[in-house]
Amino acid sequence: MSSSPAPGSRRRRRVPLLAAALAAGVLVVSPLMGAAPAAAAAASEITLSTAEVAPGANLTVDFVTDRPSTKNWVAIYPASKPEPCDACGMAWAYAPGASGSVQLPAKDRSGNPLPAGDYRVEYLYNDGYTRVSEPVAFTVAEAPYEGPAVDPTKPIGLSVVQLNLWGKTSDATMLTEIGADLIFVEEAQSGAAAIARDLGFDYHSTGGSAGVISRYPIVDAGVVSVPGTQGGWMKAIVQVGDTQIAAYGGHLEYRYYATYLPRGYAGDVLAAGFPTEWRGWNKLSAPVTDVPQILAANEASGRPAAATALTADMATERAAGRLTMMGADMNEPSTLDWTEATADLYDHNGVVAPWQTTSILRDGGLVDAYRAVYPDPVTHPGFTWPADTPNVSVSQLAWAPEADERDRIDYIFFAPDERLTLESTRIVGPKGDIVRGARALPVSDEEIFTPQTLWTSDHKGLQAEFVVCGDACQAAAEPGDLVVGTPSITGTAKVGATVTAQPGEWTAGTGFAYQWLLDGAAIEGATSATFSIPASLAGHSLSVRVSGSLDGYAPAQAASAAVTIGADEPVAETATIVPGSQTVVAGGSLRVSGSGFAAGAQLRLELHSTPVNLGTVTATAAGEFATTVRIPASVSAGVHTLVVVLPDGTQVRAAVTVTAAQEAASDGLAQTGGELPFAAVWIALAALGLGGALLARRRLRQQ
């Protein structure tokens, strides 16, 4: 009988076979399973939320990758670094996983906002510098310059400075010390940008000689290209409150320096038709004093043409409602400086030259800021070149070492406008000059401000203080309200009296005008501070109207309270006065007596019509008095009134005639208060006769 395996043993044999089959299936299927995810994965890339970002703002970076890692990272690099590198990146952050979003601030690793410029974001693998994807570029935009906060309804100070930097400084300390808001610079090159950055100001420059630097925002800029300038006029539209200023910075042609010709030096006049001796900068055989020749050489410089182009562009800007001004090193003197008064000064050698460039600017409606304040070129020459620059050898400063080459060739010009007020100007820089190849003290006591910061230019600069009051400022400049006082009337308001208007307490400095009113109506011609009351006004009411005025304030008026005019009180019938004589000589004495007065009354004696005080007297207990008064010699001859004034103002009167001293002597009239008795006169004459007879008898006896 054959034998068979047990059922359990059969199952055990099947297990190895099943495992082998499963293993084979895995080997077949696993490559297919591995291939499927790779085919479905997205390509690695980053995208940015914006291609331009403000300094310091956040930049959103979205990423997706088929090479995820917990240490994948994104970082900002400057465009100047083409490959990712250690320590040359900016802000960074991890970007773990296969996709996600990361915020990157536009800052460096110290947290400072990135300066304006071009940058890129790199997506890097696992804490290393291998790219996960291609980088994406972006730009940090220039931050808009806001400038200082100002109230356009108030006047705004604007300090304007013009300065040739001589290409030797980018130091903002000096300009901070001077106190500048709007700065025109020449021979600046990169200096304009550097100074603006250090000051924290806005600026406009093409990197050439001239530039405009401003504390206030520059909202637009351009260049007026024209021959005769070194790079054209830099034109910046400056926003000051609600007012725009078209500000032009320029550096005009330095050759064809025709101001040297009268001084006996060539000015590098290169154009055809001029003597070859005028080329270069050497000393000439003799000074050139032919004015047409000098002006022809100056015209060839192109500077006058540059002035013409400037005035034309300024006219357009003024028509658009803008203020206009310019600052420039013009390398040419002013027609206001080479005059008859200076013809024999500073080696002008008798030349009176109407230099064209400044003449064109003047004829174009512009004002020379320095000459507007200091019109006399003798007392205030305003020299700006060559300056006595410290720590620089004279040989570097003097171009005509045997001549007096001092001139004013640096300027600030502006167009007059009711919104712009020039307050003051001054020269800034060293006080001394260079004369005939040597350092020299200034020729006048004109104001020169010398900063403590080391001066490094061969020019002095110019500073002008302006006030800008735009439309809102002018609209707000309504007259202020005066503090109005309460007028009053002093004195007794009665017939024959004089009263005075008191204006009361008004704003300090207020000027006053007066109008007296009768029953509320103006009294014709009564416009002084005092008023004499005629008899016809008795019983009426009197008041005064005071009008006040003061610059910057609205005029105002106020009236006093009315008072009733009293009648002239009658003289008491019982009171009388008696002059000792009806006639008295001027300068003589007069006896006066009176009765009918109150006991002990203090009485004042006067001589009218124009009151002359003759003294006081006290009435006796019986109401009487007797006194002698002296009539001043200055009293005019004629009929006068002797007046006794009672304490209540009542007057007692008597007529008296005053005669001149010589008139009284010729008429043989008695001198009141100085009479000699008639008998005494004859006794004196008899004594004189008896004495004479006795003297004659004695002489006869002696003989």
Residue 43: per-residue pLDDT? 87
**What span, in angstroms and rounded, lies between the C-alpha atoms of 651 and 605?**
10
Give the position of tokens 């331009």: 52
User: In the prediction, which pLDDT does 116 show?
Assistant: 87
Output phi, psi for 323, to 5 deg: -75, 155
Task: Using the predicted structure, report yes or no on whether residue 1 has a pLDDT greater than 70.
Answer: no
User: For residue 73, which of 122, 120, 135, 5 has the smallest C-alpha distance?
Assistant: 122
- Reported as half-sphere exposure (CB side, CA atoms, 13 A), residue 299 has a value of 11
CA separation for the pair 584, 658 (Å, rounded): 5
pLDDT at residue 71 tops 80: yes
323-329 and 530-532: which strand pairing?
A: unpaired
Mind listing the pLDDT tens digit for each residue in 125-147?
A: 999 999 999 999 999 998 788 88
Collapse the DSSP code of 246 into the 3-class scheme (helix H, G, I; strand E, B; otherwise coil) and give the result.
Answer: strand
**448-451-455-458 Cα dihedral, nearest 10 degrees:** -20
- pLDDT at position 19 is 39
Contact 546/510 with Cβ under 8 angstroms?
no
Q: Which is more confidently placed, 414 or 16?
A: 414
Q: Both tokens of residue 222?
A: 């351009």
Both tokens of 85, joined, read: 């590198």
Q: What confidence score (pLDDT) does residue 569 get?
A: 57
* Alpha helices by DSSP H, 471-623: 471-476
Segment holding 105, helix H or strand E? strand 99-105
- Quick: pLDDT tens for 432-454: 999 999 999 998 889 999 999 99
CA distances from 525 to 130, 377, 510 (A): 103, 51, 23
Beta 45-48 vs 73-78: how paired, if at all? unpaired
Rounded CA separation 669/583 (Å): 9
Distance CA 435, CA 438 (A): 5
Q: In what order do the strands lie in the sheet with 99-105?
A: 45-48, 58-64, 99-105
Token pair 């109207």 is found at 545
- Looking at residue 42, its pLDDT comes to 59
Average per-residue pLDDT for the chain: 87
How far is residue 160's CA from residue 587's CA, in Å, rounded to a whole number? Answer: 74
- pTM, two decimal places: 0.59
Stronger pLDDT, 476 or 68, i.e. the higher one: 68
Average pLDDT over residues 683-693: 48
The three-point CA angle 489-493-497 to 5° equals 110
> Residues 6 or more apart from 368 whose CB is under 8 A from it?
334, 336, 358, 361, 362, 411, 412, 413
pLDDT tops 70 at residue 685: no
Dist CA 228 CA 254 (whole Å) = 9
E strand residue ranges, 89-232: 92-94, 99-105, 117-124, 136-140, 156-164, 182-186, 202-205, 211-214, 218-224
Tell which residue, 541, 559, 565, has the closest CA to residue 488: 559
Domains and CATH numbers, the chain: 45-140 (2.60.40.2840), 156-252+322-386+407-432+449-473 (3.60.10.10), 480-564 (2.60.40.2700), 576-678 (2.60.40.1930)
- pLDDT surpasses 80 at 550: yes
* d(C-alpha 173, C-alpha 527), whole Å: 61
Task: Tell me the HSE value of 688 on the side-chain side, using a 13 A CA sphere.
Answer: 6
Sign of the CA dihedral 448, 453, 454, 459? negative
What are the counts of helices (DSSP H) followed by strands (DSSP E) for the chain?
11, 41
Nearest 5°: phi and psi at 31? -60, -35
3-state SS assignment for residue 34:
helix
Give residue-wise pLDDT tens across range 220-233.
Answer: 999 999 999 999 99
pLDDT digits (tens, 9 = 90+) for 498-526: 999 999 999 999 999 999 999 999 999 99
Sheet holding 498-502, edge to edge: 488-490, 498-502, 530-532
Alpha helices by DSSP H, listed for 431-586, are 471-476
Please tell me whether residue 476 adopts helix, strand or coil conformation.
Answer: helix
Taking the CB of residue 656, how many other CB atoms lie within 10 A of it? Answer: 19
Q: Whole-angstrom distance between the N-terminal and C-terminal Cα of the chain?
A: 240
Helix (H, G, I), strand (E, B) or coil at 656: strand
Distance CA 433, CA 345 (A): 15
Residue with tokens 């403000």: 54
Question: pLDDT (tens digit, 9 = 90+) per residue, 183-210?
Answer: 999 998 888 988 998 999 999 998 889 9
**Paired strand residues for 240:** 243
Main-chain phi, psi angles of 145, to 5 degrees: -80, 125
What is the per-residue DSSP string for 251-315? Answer: EB--SS-GGGGGGTB-----STTS-GGGSSSPBPSS----HHHHHHHHHTTSHHHHHHHHHHHHH
Q: What is the Cα–Cα distance from 199 to 221, expressed in whole angstroms? A: 20
CB 55 within 8 A of CB 116: yes
Q: What span, in angstroms and rounded, lies between the C-alpha atoms of 267 and 149?
A: 48
**pLDDT higher than 90, residue 672:** no
pLDDT digits (tens, 9 = 90+) for 603-627: 999 989 788 898 999 999 888 999 9
Instruction: Among 6-20, 310-324, 474-488, name the one with the lowest average pLDDT.
Output: 6-20
Pick from 674, 658, 654: nearest CA to 606: 654
Pairing mode, strands 136-140 and 52-53: parallel
Q: Give the number of residues written for the chain.
A: 703
Residue 264 tokens read as 């006996």
pLDDT recorded at residue 37: 40
Structure tokens at 242: 């609600």
Please give the Cα distance from 228 to 303 (Å, whole number): 5
30-39, 266-275, 390-399: range with lowest mean pLDDT: 30-39
> Which of 604, 596, 662 lies closest to 633 in space, CA to CA?
662
What is the rounded distance in angstroms from the CA atom of residue 164 to the CA atom of residue 226? 20
Beta bridge partners of 5: none
Contacts of 294 (CB under 8 A, 6+ apart): 258, 261, 262, 288, 351, 353
User: At 214, which helix (H) or strand (E)?
Assistant: strand 211-214
Closest CA to 310 of 413, 186, 204, 189: 413
Nearest-angstrom CA–CA distance, 354 and 338: 7
**Residue with token string 């006795």:** 694
